[in-house]
A and B are shown apart, each in its own frame.
Chain A
Amino acid sequence: MRIGVYICHCGGNISDIVNIGEAVEFAKKQKDVVLVRDNGHICSNEGQMLVLSDIREFKLDKIVIAACSPSFQGQTFMKMMERAGLNPYVLEMANIREQCSWAHINYPEEATEKAKDLTNIAISKVRLDTPLSKAKMPIGKRVLVIGGGIAGIQAALDLGDAGFKVYLVEEKPTIGGHMAQLSKTFPTEDCSACILSPKMSDVAAHPNIELLTYSEVIAISGYLGNYNAKIKIKPTYVDPSKCTCCGDCSEVCPVDVPNEFNEGLSFRKAIYIPTDIAVPHSFTLDIENCLGLLPLACAKCRDACDAKAINYDQYEKTMDITVDTIIVATGFDIFNPAEKPVFGFGKYENVLTALQLERLVEHEESGKNLVDIGNKIAFIQCVGSRDEQIKKEYCSRVCCMYATKLAQLLKRNRPERDIYIFYTDLRAYGKGFEEYYKRAQKNGVKYIRGRTAEIQENPKNKKLILKVEDTLTRSLIEGEFDTVILSTGMVPSEGTKKIRDILRIGRTTDGFLAEAHPKFKPVDTLTEGIFLAGTVQGPKDIPDTVAQASAAAARAIRLMNKGEYEAEPITASIDEELCAGCGVCISVCPYDAIAFEAEGARKFAKVNEMLCKGCGSCAGSCPSGAAQQKWFNTEQIKEMLRAIL
């Protein structure tokens, strides 16, 4: 065995604290070590060339690199091993940067001792490392996209255009999500529905996209290249191929229900179409509110339908599909302002949410007023954002700009309006945002720097009084407002919470789903083959959502395009002869990767290597030592401990 040890300076990051010379001398004394070198940057091209030429010249067969964290440069050095014709798994890294020089910046001597120990551990482990090979697995071209908002739509279209088979699942009767509800988009003021609706019809017409609306994913099992999803499809009781959207059914329906699409500002019938641009373009019978499907109960809609599109004999169905990768785009809900009772939402009739205002403004523009909101209007920013009292510490990123947009639209509809935006910090960080903010100020929108403590209603005229300080002049604001708009932030949607449990993927402290790496893997999750798109990962505006959706599609294509992929070889394996069949490993495995197999009367546990993530829980808990983690077997761990004891 001929081990080469390389100790990195990391351009001073390590060498300023750790005594490199001492570490080199120490490593030279270890058994089987034939060469020790130190270098400024081993990860650089020059550093790697040095290792490669040493491997040839000194016939090194195992390598130890004492440098940074393997999660940082591990992949670089593994690729280097492949170039040298060595197996990537006879390489070990000792982390003497994050764990020595950075952690013990004020204790150089102790840091040096620890660096020596960690290097010794790596040498002891590499002696017992054996080559591991990556299994090549076949992978198909099928993708499940969960959520039909703009993120899901964009991801589905990109994947479909690239020739992949897409199943797009949406729980509502139409795709489009929140974007379909918006009046205009900031800062360009494009009509939101007008730019969204062509994309929605593209989805419906796309030969590679199978659209499943009014449907929910209820279970998922399997792994990359073989995910099995169970989808519940709710009946709409209307045949979309026959429905002409004439609306005769709605007209005769006797039931009024608050219209979700208009945020409760108007009513719809129990048989309805959520919006004019709905896709699929068809009515839906909402069975929760329908008087009943029995002809005796009502059946007015069926009788009114000339196209004979209404069929009461429909039932809930489930559908099983197999896909290779999954994109999660379950979006956001708006913060429920009733959680901040100081603002009186639901109690004072003139307090509205910004999403309600989006619907109002759109109707106002077309002359079909939903309600008159008057002329003196205040926006309260950061409702449900940046507030420790309700455990929402994050900034929702869109409220400053949508308030700026809505204020200008309100003024355009009625120039005599007086609009005030009460903010804490104005965040105009995106492309064209600052210019848009300036335009609003030019148009007379007044920005007041102060966060509203509470709203009171004048019971005589229903006008609203704000308890708020202008922090720039330290003066309290007086006067009454006709309407107060709460600029509500984003929270993880109910769908996101459900899908998180089904897919078992992590979340960050804000409740949104966690990306695999905040910088370099912003749309991956820690589960291979599952990607995130849009606000499911955190608040963001439409351009960012679309960019992320395209990124998620590209990352999914990257895995599927070759038709095969290499599986991670660091998995557990169970020795059938030693296994006593106690089942402890099965109970501790967090990935359901272990199951019993029988051979005659004897049963033993077996690991499904495709599901195993190499966490080591089974190896740690197995009483007989039958379960072993490849690359971290018991003998190796004993040797690593001996090296420092």
Chain B
Amino acid sequence: MSKKIILDKESAEFTKKIIELSGEIVTLCEQCGTCSGGCPMCDKAETSPSLMMRMAALGQKEILGSDIIWYCASCYTCTVRCPRGIDISKVAEALRQIILRDSVNRIDLSKLTPAELEKLPQIALVAALRKMTG
């Protein structure tokens, strides 16, 4: 069974929210994949930047659960290459903001096992601790 994409009022609102927060018109994305091809984190993450952009454009909230938004180090490689001139780093930042604005502790440091600590990239760890600044 393939995945379902639900297009409704909620998804439209979510897209609008991402556009507002990031200042980037995510619906401009033509899905060429240049961002993924050059992304230094792409082969580590489960979700590719181009898929993140697609889900943002279609307003699919599952993207908030993806790992790519935390892998993104805002290196801007995608941004300077995007043939449609979209600042993709800002979109990742907006998605992080949406999560962080709930202002809850995402991780409890004391409960992390040494194995988990080893697997977790530093940048994700740092980002997760910055509750309100992303």
Contacts and interface: CB of A to CB of B under 8 A. Distances in A.
B37 A469 contact: yes
A449 B33 contact: yes
B38 interface: yes
Residue of B33, B80, B84 ringed by the most chain A CB atoms within 10 A = B33
A451 B33 contact: yes
A468 B42 CA distance: 11
A469 B84 contact: no
Interface size class of B (residues with CB under 8 A): 20 to 34
Contact of B42 (A425, A451, A476): A476
B83 A386 contact: yes
A453 B83 contact: no
A476 B43 contact: yes
B48 A451 contact: no
Residue of A386, A449, A469 ringed by the most chain B CB atoms within 10 A = A469
Contact of A452 (B37, B50, B82): B37
B90 to A, nearest CB: 16
A388 B87 CA distance: 12
Contacts of A466: 37
A388 B85 contact: yes
A424 B48 contact: no
Contact of A382 (B43, B83, B85): B83
Given A425-B30, A474-B48, A476-B43, A469 B83 contact: no
A450 interface: yes
B31 interface: yes
A106 interface: no
B84 A451 contact: no
A471 interface: yes
Contacts of B38: 342, 453-454, 467
A387 interface: yes
B81 interface: yes
Contacts of B35: 453
A389 interface: yes
Contacts of A382: 32, 83
Interface in A450-499: 450-454, 466-471, 474, 476
B104 to A, nearest CB: 30
A471 B31 contact: yes
Nearest to A340: B81
Interface string B34-61: 1111110011000110110000000000
B32 A471 contact: yes
B51 to A, nearest CB: 5
A208 B82 CA distance: 52
Contacts of B77: 453
A579 B22 CA distance: 61
A471 B49 CA distance: 10
A410 B80 CA distance: 34
Contacts of B50: 469, 471, 474
Nearest to A471: B33
Contacts of A454: 37-38
A453 B85 CA distance: 14
B81 A342 contact: yes
Nearest to B34: A451
Interface string B95-121: 000000000000000000000000000
A389 B33 contact: no
Contacts of B82: 388-389
Interface in A498-517: none
A474 B48 CA distance: 7
Interface in A140-197: none
A325 B91 CA distance: 54
A342 B83 CA distance: 13
Contacts of A470: 33
A474 B37 contact: no
A476 B38 CA distance: 10
Contacts of B81: 342, 389, 453
Contacts of B47: 474
Contacts of B31: 424, 471
Residue of A386, A389, A449, A454 ringed by the most chain B CB atoms within 10 A = A389
Interface in A379-438: 382, 386-389, 424-425
A600 B120 CA distance: 94
Interface in A44-60: none
A450 B37 contact: yes
B34 to A, nearest CB: 5
A469 B48 CA distance: 9
A451 B83 contact: yes
Interface string B7-42: 000000000000000000000001111111111001
Interface string B64-89: 00000000000001001111110000
Contacts of B84: 388
Nearest to A390: B83
A382 to B, nearest CB: 7
A388 B83 contact: yes
Given A466-B37, A474-B50, A476-B36, 9 more contacts: A382-B83, A386-B30, A389-B83, A424-B83, A450-B32, A453-B33, A453-B39, A469-B42, A474-B36
Interface of A: 342, 382, 386-389, 424-425, 449-454, 466-471, 474, 476
Interface of B: 30-39, 42-43, 47-48, 50-51, 77, 80-85
The 7 closest A-B pairs by CB, nearest first: A453-B37, A453-B38, A469-B36, A451-B32, A388-B85, A450-B33, A469-B33
16 contacts: A382-B32, A388-B82, A389-B83, A389-B85, A424-B31, A424-B33, A424-B83, A449-B33, A450-B33, A450-B37, A451-B83, A452-B34, A454-B37, A468-B37, A469-B50, A474-B51
